[in-house]
């Protein structure tokens, strides 16, 4: 026993170190992470420092991905992890070879006979004759080979991560350049200096996305490190992974140095990026058309063709049921998941989607119009006795703190429907337990009876899936349609607001005149905002609360632009006009894209119905007309043997149980294809797999109902 423990001691030590490193990487333990960084710098810091100049692409990837580590630290940690991976893999390789040799040396004659002749002669029969030197060489060679492969894989994976992250950031930056430049143009048009424009842009990163995050680097350089704005912009252009942003910052720095008209330059840049957005969308739609055709060909027609061939082969030769199940449960879902991930990677995600703006303004906007208790302090450091007890007593502070902690919980309890519509995924916490209870009640009887046939469990599983996916689809679509209806009225609202302000009205009066009109889904929220203003709130704070209630990207951008423009100038007309033009252009692009993508959704539906039709034909026409074994034997004679030949002999092996198994496989394949096609339709039509829940529900109900009616 002690000998075995000694033999396993190296393996246990290496695995323990790997577990500590893995746990630190997963949980983010700061103390262990700092220790790893120190060990890495101590062991490989010199090598990492020498390699920095020789690897500019790696340096650019770290800067573009905003990795919070220097090149020396990241490279040293990479060398450390590669060394640990090599050591671990080498020891595991040694143990693996030792285990194989022990197995081969002690294998019985029956087991040895299963190996091919050359392998049996080279290894199996010669294990006992291996000398210690040969065994040592085998261990060293195997350990070194596996260790080198593991070290190279770890090193490559560590450097691919920041490179991939930088590429994703570049894509998000390019997608947000149009609205970011429009924001800068609008504020500069109101007379605000560029440094303040950049500060406001940095404060609205959740609204304006990755481009605002890059500009926040320039703001940090200016405010914290005393850099001038031109130097800060040059640094942003050097570090950013986006070529568009690098070119923009270079041109912006040149305009500032030459003293040219900044608003005119930003207007020209905005028009350029608007044209680029249209061209990019056209290219994306062309790519999506190709992908839709590829999906229908490879993942709908391909499996259908494969299933038909396998059915024919199985009915004549047998042995294809297993591969049919593999196609239904592994190949089709796996390929669909990969296709959906690729679609998501090339789709420009909407920056600042629902739920992303909670941190912008957030909770403090509820009390912005109320003087803080500190305002009651006297100049000598004391407190105004007439005012201090109202807000600064310890009892009131404790009550207020408790109220703030309980407020989110009470809000969710009082408004469950609103909470579900704001975050539809919360519905899974209710629907999934209900579905689990239903499955337990339906599956208990067959499980207790020892029935394990799939047909005994299919119906309940389909019912539960339709319930879970369908309820989520209803909540998600309700919230999405409300959001889209509100965003559709934003351009009209901005246009009216700009018109009344350009006519000479003040901002508050202009807003009240705009609210009097009919703005569709936006009317109710604007009326609440106007009531907030009439009750004494400042218009900036009322608009901030309006943004928090509506919580859509378009409204968030409008509120951020309007409130900051009010602080810069009372002349909101030109600013609102710019925002209206930008919102109209974005709305037009979205409408064109939706109309184009609707065609691809229809193609997916048609291909799915064709799939169902052929599967039903195989199940109800082709399979039932193949004679079973008993029918073939009863009708066989001298003439039938001559006529049917080998096919009759193989068909005679077909039984009623095998026919039922084929029907079950067809049923399962249709259900899997329904869910996969629905999710892909949502990814293509709306750019999100969540939007495919309604398509998946519809297709699942169609497939299930079809087979239910056919019996």
Residue from 497, 514, 647, 505 nearest 580 by CA = 497
Using only the alpha carbons of the chain, give its radius of gyration. Answer: 34
Please give the mean pLDDT across all residues of the chain: 79
Tokens found for residue 562: 């309007």
Taking residues 471-491, report their average pLDDT.
89
377 pLDDT band (50/70/90 cuts)?
Answer: very low
Q: Tell me what pLDDT residue 387 has.
A: 44
Residues 299 and 272 grouped into a single domain: no
DSSP for residue 144: H
d(CA 55, CA 75): 11
Q: What is the pTM of this model?
A: 0.74
**Residue 477: is it exposed, middle or buried by C-beta count within 10 angstroms (0-12/13-18/19+)?**
middle
pLDDT (tens digit, 9 = 90+) per residue, 265-276?
A: 998 998 898 888
| Location of structure tokens 């909101």 | 572
* pLDDT score of 356 more than 60: no
Which is higher by pLDDT, 2 or 219? 219
* pLDDT score of 362 more than 50: no
* pLDDT score of 354 more than 50: no
Q: Which residues contact 450 (CB under 8 A, 6 or more apart)?
A: none
Give the total residue count for the chain.
Answer: 711
List, as one string, the DSSP characters of 329-362: IIIHHHHHHHHHHHHHHHS-PPTT-TTS-TTSSG
d(CA 375, CA 369): 13
| CB of 668 closer than 8 Å to CB of 328 | yes
Residues 155 and 16 grouped into a single domain: yes
Q: Tell me what pLDDT residue 147 has.
A: 81
Residues 28 and 143 grouped into a single domain: yes
Q: Tell me what pLDDT residue 670 has.
A: 92
Phi-psi region of 319 (alpha: psi -120 to 50; beta: other; left: phi over 0): left
Lowest mean pLDDT across 150-159, 283-292, 392-401: 392-401
Q: Is residue 107 part of a domain?
A: yes
**Residue 449: is it exposed, middle or buried by C-beta count within 10 angstroms (0-12/13-18/19+)?**
exposed
Q: Tell me what pLDDT residue 260 has.
A: 85
* pLDDT score of 352 more than 60: no
* pLDDT score of 386 more than 50: no
Residues 191 and 69 grouped into a single domain: no
List, as one string, the DSSP characters of 493-509: HHHHHHHHHHTT--HHH
397 to 36, 400, 406, 571: CA distances (angstroms): 43, 5, 14, 41
Q: Tell me what pLDDT residue 148 has.
A: 85
Residues 28 and 149 grouped into a single domain: yes
Q: Dihedrals φ, ψ of 383, to 5°?
A: -130, 145
**Helix 428-448 / helix 455-502 crossing angle, nearest 10 deg:** 170
Q: Tell me what pLDDT residue 365 has.
A: 44
| CB of 252 closer than 8 Å to CB of 265 | yes
DSSP for residue 371: P
Residue from 15, 149, 1, 2 nearest 95 by CA = 15
Domain count, the chain: 3
pLDDT (tens digit, 9 = 90+) per residue, 306-342?
A: 888 888 887 777 778 888 888 889 999 999 999 888 8
Q: Is residue 241 part of a domain?
A: yes
d(CA 448, CA 633): 38
End-of-domain residue from the set 278, 310, 331: 278
* pLDDT score of 471 more than 90: yes
Which is higher by pLDDT, 646 or 184? 184
d(CA 509, CA 501): 9
Residues 197 and 146 grouped into a single domain: no
415 pLDDT band (50/70/90 cuts)?
Answer: confident
How many CB atoms sit inside 10 A of residue 301's CB? 15
Q: Is residue 121 part of a domain?
A: yes
Which is higher by pLDDT, 653 or 657? 657
**Residue 508: is it exposed, middle or buried by C-beta count within 10 angstroms (0-12/13-18/19+)?**
middle
d(CA 711, CA 708): 5
pLDDT (tens digit, 9 = 90+) per residue, 499-538?
A: 888 887 888 888 888 888 888 888 888 899 999 999 988 8
End-of-domain residue from the set 278, 304, 332: 278
| CB of 601 closer than 8 Å to CB of 695 | yes
| Location of structure tokens 């299919």 | 458
| CB of 363 closer than 8 Å to CB of 549 | no
Q: Tell me what pLDDT residue 118 has.
A: 53
d(CA 652, CA 229): 85
Lowest mean pLDDT across 567-571, 600-604, 681-685: 567-571
Q: Tell me what pLDDT residue 648 has.
A: 45
Q: What is the 3-state secondary structure (H, E, C) of 508-563?
A: HHHHHHHHCCCCHHHHHHHHHHHHHHHCCCCHHHHHHHHHHHHCCHHHHHHHHHHH
Residue from 657, 659, 652 nearest 633 by CA = 652
**3-state secondary structure (DSSP) of residue 377:** strand
Q: Tell me what pLDDT residue 548 has.
A: 86
**3-state secondary structure (DSSP) of residue 108:** coil
Taking residues 215-243, report their average pLDDT.
90
d(CA 233, CA 250): 7
- For residues 583-600, b (16+ Cβ closer than 10 Å) or e, as one string? bebbbebbeebeebbeeb
552 pLDDT band (50/70/90 cuts)?
Answer: confident
d(CA 304, CA 328): 10
Q: Is residue 513 part of a domain?
A: no
Which is higher by pLDDT, 581 or 240? 240
DSSP for residue 363: G
Q: Is residue 309 part of a domain?
A: yes
* pLDDT score of 193 more than 50: yes
Residues 18 and 95 grouped into a single domain: yes
d(CA 624, CA 615): 13
Residues 108 and 201 grouped into a single domain: no
381 pLDDT band (50/70/90 cuts)?
Answer: very low
**3-state secondary structure (DSSP) of residue 70:** coil
Q: Tell me what pLDDT residue 357 has.
A: 37
Residues 31 and 154 grouped into a single domain: yes
End-of-domain residue from the set 278, 304, 333: 278
List, as one string, the DSSP characters of 619-687: IIIITTTS--HHHHHHT--HHHHHHHHHHHHHHTT--HHHHHHHHHHHHHHHHHHHHHHHHHHHHHHHS
* pLDDT score of 106 more than 80: no
Residues 192 and 69 grouped into a single domain: no
Q: Is residue 479 part of a domain?
A: no
Q: Which residues contact 553 (CB under 8 A, 6 or more apart)?
A: 207, 350, 351, 352, 353, 356, 357, 487
Which is higher by pLDDT, 572 or 126? 572
d(CA 174, CA 439): 47
d(CA 300, CA 699): 14
pLDDT (tens digit, 9 = 90+) per residue, 71-104?
A: 999 999 899 888 888 888 887 777 776 666 655 5
Q: Is residue 434 part of a domain?
A: no
Lowest mean pLDDT across 152-161, 320-329, 359-368: 359-368
Residue 666's domain spans which residues?
Answer: 281-350+589-710
673 pLDDT band (50/70/90 cuts)?
Answer: very high
Q: Tell me the range of 283-287, 397-401, 459-463 where mean pLDDT is highest.
A: 459-463
Tokens found for residue 395: 């009892």
d(CA 432, CA 469): 10
Residues 94 and 225 grouped into a single domain: no
* pLDDT score of 215 more than 70: yes
Lowest mean pLDDT across 228-232, 628-632, 680-684: 628-632
Sign of CA pseudo-dihedral 182, 187, 189, 194: negative
* pLDDT score of 702 more than 90: yes
Q: Tell me what pLDDT residue 68 has.
A: 84
pLDDT (tens digit, 9 = 90+) per residue, 416-455?
A: 887 887 788 888 989 999 999 999 999 998 888 888 888 7
* pLDDT score of 224 more than 70: yes
Residues 135 and 178 grouped into a single domain: no
Q: Is residue 418 part of a domain?
A: no
């Amino acid at each position: 026993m002690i000998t075995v423990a000694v033999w396993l001691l190296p393996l246990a030590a290496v695995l323990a170190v790997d577990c500590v490193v893995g746990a630190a990487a997963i949980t983010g333990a700061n103390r262990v992470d700092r220790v790893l960084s120190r060990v890495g710098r101590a062991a490989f810091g010199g090598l990492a420092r020498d390699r920095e100049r020789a690897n500019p692409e790696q340096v650019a990837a770290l800067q573009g991905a905003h990795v919070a580590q220097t090149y020396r630290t990241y490279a040293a940690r990479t060398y450390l992890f590669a060394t640990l991976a090599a050591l671990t893999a080498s020891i595991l390789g040694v143990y693996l070879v030792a285990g194989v040799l022990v197995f081969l040396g002690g294998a019985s004659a029956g087991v040895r006979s299963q190996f091919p002749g050359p392998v049996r002669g080279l290894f199996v029969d010669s294990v006992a004759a291996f000398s210690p030197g040969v065994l040592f060489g085998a261990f060293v060679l195997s350990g070194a080979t596996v260790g080198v492969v593991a070290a190279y894989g770890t090193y490559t994976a560590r450097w691919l991560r920041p490179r991939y992250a930088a590429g994703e950031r570049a894509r998000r930056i390019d997608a947000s350049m149009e609205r970011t430049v429009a924001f800068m143009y609008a504020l500069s048009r109101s007379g605000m200096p560029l440094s303040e424009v950049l500060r406001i842009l940095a404060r609205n990163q959740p609204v304006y996305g990755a481009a605002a995050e890059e500009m926040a680097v320039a703001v940090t350089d200016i405010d914290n490190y005393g850099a001038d704005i031109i130097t800060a912009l040059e640094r942003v252009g050097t570090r950013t992974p986006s070529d568009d942003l690098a070119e923009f910052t270079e041109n912006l720095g040149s305009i500032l140095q030459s003293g040219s008209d900044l608003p005119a330059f930003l207007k020209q840049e905005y028009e350029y990026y608007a044209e680029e957005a249209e061209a990019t969308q056209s290219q994306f739609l062309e790519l999506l058309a190709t992908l839709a055709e590829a999906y229908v060909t490879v993942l709908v027609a391909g499996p259908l063709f494969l299933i038909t061939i396998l059915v024919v082969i199985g009915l004549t030769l047998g042995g294809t049921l297993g591969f049919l199940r593999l196609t239904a449960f592994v190949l089709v879902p796996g390929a669909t998941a990969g296709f959906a991930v690729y679609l998501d990677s090339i789709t420009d995600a909407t920056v600042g989607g629902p739920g992303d703006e909670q941190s912008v303004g957030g909770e403090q906007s509820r009390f912005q119009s109320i003087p803080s208790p500190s305002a009651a302090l006297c100049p000598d450091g004391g407190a105004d006795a007439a005012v201090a007890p109202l807000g600064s007593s310890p009892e009131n502070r404790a009550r207020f703190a408790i109220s703030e902690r309980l407020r989110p919980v009470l809000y969710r309890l009082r408004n469950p429907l609103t909470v579900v519509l704001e975050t539809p995924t919360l519905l899974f916490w209710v629907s999934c337990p209900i579905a689990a209870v239903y499955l337990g009640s339906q599956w208990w009887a067959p499980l207790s009876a020892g029935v394990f046939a799939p047909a005994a469990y299919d119906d309940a599983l389909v019912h539960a899936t339709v319930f879970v996916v369908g309820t989520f689809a209803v909540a998600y679509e309700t919230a999405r349609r409300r959001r889209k209806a509100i965003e559709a009225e934003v351009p009209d609202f901005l246009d009216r607001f700009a018109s009344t302000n350009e006519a000479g009205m003040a901002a508050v009066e202009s807003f009240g005149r705009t609210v009097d009109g009919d703005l569709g889904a936006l009317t109710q929220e604007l009326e609440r905002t106007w009531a907030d203003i009439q009750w004494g709130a400042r218009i900036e704070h009322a608009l901030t609360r309006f943004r928090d209630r509506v919580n859509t990207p378009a409204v968030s951008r409008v509120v951020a632009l309007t409130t900051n423009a009010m602080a810069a100038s009372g002349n909101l007309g030109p600013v609102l006009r710019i925002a209206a033009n930008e919102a109209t252009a974005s709305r037009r692009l979205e409408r064109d894209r939706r109309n184009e993508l609707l065609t691809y959704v229809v193609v997916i539906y048609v291909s799915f119905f064709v799939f169902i039709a052929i599967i039903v034909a195989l199940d109800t026409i082709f399979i039932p007309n193949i004679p079973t074994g008993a029918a073939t034997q009863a009708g066989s004679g001298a003439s039938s043997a001559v006529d049917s030949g080998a096919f009759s002999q193989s068909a005679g092996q077909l039984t009623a149980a095998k026919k039922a198994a084929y029907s079950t496989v067809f049923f399962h394949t249709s259900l899997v294809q329904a869910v996969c096609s629905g999710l892909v339709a949502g990814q293509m039509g709306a750019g999100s797999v969540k939007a495919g829940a309604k398509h998946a529900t519809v297709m699942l109900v169609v497939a299930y109902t079809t087979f239910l009616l056919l019996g």
